[in-house]
A and B are shown apart, each in its own frame.
Chain A
Amino acid sequence: MSVTDTPLPLAMDVVERSDNRMVLSMGPQHPSTHGVLQVITEIEGETVVNAEPVIGYLHTGIEKSAENLFWTQASTVVERMDYLSPLSNAMAYVLGVEKLLGVTDLVPRRAQQLRILLCELSRIASHCVWLGTGGIDLGAISGFFYCFDLRERILDLNEFSGGARMHPNYLRIGGLRDDIPAGFLDKVDDLIKMYYPRMRELRALLQKNPILQDRMIDVGILNADDAIAWGVTGPSLRAAGVAYDVRKAFPYSGYEQLDFDIPTRTEGDAYARFLVRLDEMDQSMSIIEQIRENLEGGPVMVADTKFAPPPKETIAVSMEALIHHFKYVSESFRVPPGDVYSPVEGPRGETGYYLVSNGDNRPWRVRTRPASLYNLQVLKKIAVGEFIADMVVMIGSLDPVFGEVDR
C-alpha cells in the first residue's frame, strides 16, 4: 500500500465511507498525541489505509517575533520552539550569530565545554520525557515516575545555573551569561552517580518488558531510503541504519575532541527507535563525564564588550563599561550582513537555523529547520497498513514536539 494523493476531508467527526471504511479524526485534543496534533485517518476495519496529520494548532509566530527583537533578545523566543530541549535551539541560534559576527574562534573554551555539557543534559532530559510519556501511551505507567525524577534533577541543574527550569536563556551570543555557580559540578557528579543505576532500572522495567516489545517490534517500519527522502533526522534516521549525526558530520564547539559513538540500528521500527534513544542517553552521559573530567578554567564570554555585556563589577567604576552596558542592553549590536545555516544535533534530529542579517541590530530572518516537522511528516507514510491502535506508538516513537512543529 502506498500514500494516496487524494486529500482527506477535514473531518472532526466520524465519516462512514462504505460498509467497513470510515474516516476518523484523532485529536487535536488527544492525550497520546503529545501536544495538539490531529491525525485524520481513513481506516478499513482496524487497519489504517490513509493518514493525514494536521498541524498548526500551536502556531505562535515565533519566527516573526524573532525578526522584531534584537539579536540578543531573539535567543529567548527561539528557546520556546523545542520546549523539551530549549538549549539545543539556543545553541544553534547563538552559533549561527557567532558565525555571522566572525567571533566563533574567540568564544572561550570553557564556555564551549559548558554549552556541550548543558546541551547533553538537556538531551537526556528531553529523552526522559519521551521515555516516560511514550511508556504511558503503551500502558507502562510506573516508568514515567522514574523518568521524571531523573528529568527533575536535570531541570534543577538548569535552574541552578541559569535561574529557570525550562527556558534559562543561559547561552548567549559570545559565550554564557555567567560562569556556573559554585557547587554546580558537585551536583553534576551526583547526577552522574545516580544516572547509571537509574538507567539500569529503567531498562529492566521498559526495555525488556514483553508487553512493550509486543507493541513496538515491527510497528511503524521506516527504511533508510524513505527516511532520507522524507528528511527524517535524529534517532528515527539512525534507527533506520543511517549513522548521520551533526555532532560527527559537521562538528561544532569541540565535539570532534570528544569520544562518543552514534548508536545505530537497522530494523527501523518503533522498538529500534526506542533502543537508539536509550543508547543515546548513555552516550550523552559519557560526554558529560568527559567534559566534567577535562573542564578548563578561564572566562565564559568573549572579551570584546561590543558583543558581551561588561562584567557587573566594572560598571560601577568604569565609564566605558557603563556605556557599553547601556548600548548592549538598549540597542544590542549590529551584525554584518549575510546569511548562514547553523545546525546542531538536537534530541529530535538536526535543528538548524537559517539566519539572515541585513546589517541591522535585529535579525532580518530567523528560519528554523524544525526536526520535528520533518520527522512527523513521515507519519503519513509509516502509518499506512498499521493498526489504528498502533498510531499512538508511532507518534510516540517519532517524538514530535509541537512547539517546534508549529512554531
Chain B
Amino acid sequence: MPSSQTPPAGATAVDPTAVRPPIDDARIIRTSPEHVRAELVALKADGFAMLLDLGGVDYPERTPRFDVVYHLLRGLATAQPERVRVLCGVDGPEPTLPSVCDLWPSANWAEREVFDLFGVRFAGHPDLKRIQLPDEWVGHPLRKDYPLRGPALERTPRPSFALKSNVAAGTPAFGKTAAALQRQIVAARSGEPPKDGPA
C-alpha cells in the first residue's frame, strides 16, 4: 500500500544519493566506469587497505541504472580511522565494471554476489559465476523489476493425503468446508454431538 502521508521534500527521489541529508558516515566519491579502477588504485595507494564491502543498488528510473558501492577503510588500529564510499554508476544491456579482485582479494565473493543478484559483470574476475543462487537460475533477483513472488503454484494434495479415508468419503482436499466447520462450532458450544450433513 503506498503511503498517504504528506511526502517530505524531494520524496521518492530517483537518485537518493544526490539528495542525502548531511550524515557524516563516510567521505563520498562518485565516479564512472572508465575512472573507477584508477580511482580505487589511487585510494589503495593512499592507504585504504581494506575493502569493507562491495554491493549494488538498482535505480531503474535513473541513468545510469545501477550503482556499485565500494566501502573502503584505512587506519584500522589508529586513533583516526577513515572510511570512504565510492559510488560508481553503470548502465547498458550488459553493465560491466573492471574487477578489483587483484587489489583486494575480498572483492572476489562480493563481485560474484553483485553479478548474481544484479547482473553487473566484472571484467577480469577470475571466476565470475553465481554464488548465492544455483548456476542455472534465470534473472537477477535484486533488480527492482524482478518480482517478489513467482506465479502461485497449483495446490495439489500430497499423494499420502489423497489416500486417506476422509478424502475417499468426499471431504474436500483442504479440510472441512465452512459449513461443516460451522456445524462443529455450534455443536461444541451447545454441548450436543454434531449433526451429520454434507461435508
Contacts and interface: CB of A to CB of B under 8 A. Distances in A.
Q: Is this pair of chains taken from one and the same complex? A: yes
Contacts of A250: 81, 83
Chain B interface secondary structure, helix, strand, loop or mixed? loop
Contacts of B83: 250, 341
A367 B55 contact: yes
A361 B49 CA distance: 37
Contacts of A140: none
A407 B55 CA distance: 14
A229 B49 contact: yes
A186 B101 CA distance: 51
A278 B143 CA distance: 42
Interface stretch (B8-16, B166-174, B181-189): B8-16
B131 A367 contact: no
Interface stretch (A35-43, A286-294, A332-340): A332-340
Nearest to B5: A334
A331 B76 contact: no
A231 B141 CA distance: 25
Contacts of B77: 242-244
Contact of B7 (A228, A334, A374): A334
B53 A369 contact: yes
Interface size class of A (residues with CB under 8 A): 35 or more
Interface stretch (A78-86, A119-127, A348-356): A348-356
A160 to B, nearest CB: 34
B81 A354 contact: no
Interface of A: 5, 7, 55-56, 59, 61, 63-65, 68, 99-100, 102, 228-232, 237, 242-244, 249-250, 327, 330-334, 336-343, 350, 352, 354, 356-361, 364-365, 367, 369, 373-374, 377, 381, 406-407
Interface of B: 1-5, 7-8, 10-14, 16-17, 19-21, 23, 25-26, 49-53, 55-58, 69, 71, 76-77, 81, 83, 85, 104-106, 108-110, 117, 126-127, 130-134, 141-142, 146, 148
25 contacts: A5-B127, A7-B127, A56-B132, A59-B132, A61-B141, A64-B141, A228-B50, A229-B50, A229-B104, A230-B105, A237-B76, A242-B76, A249-B81, A250-B81, A337-B10, A356-B57, A358-B14, A359-B10, A359-B13, A360-B2, A367-B53, A367-B57, A377-B108, A406-B132, A407-B132
Across the A-B interface, the 3 shortest Cβ-Cβ residue pairs: A231-B106, A338-B20, A359-B11
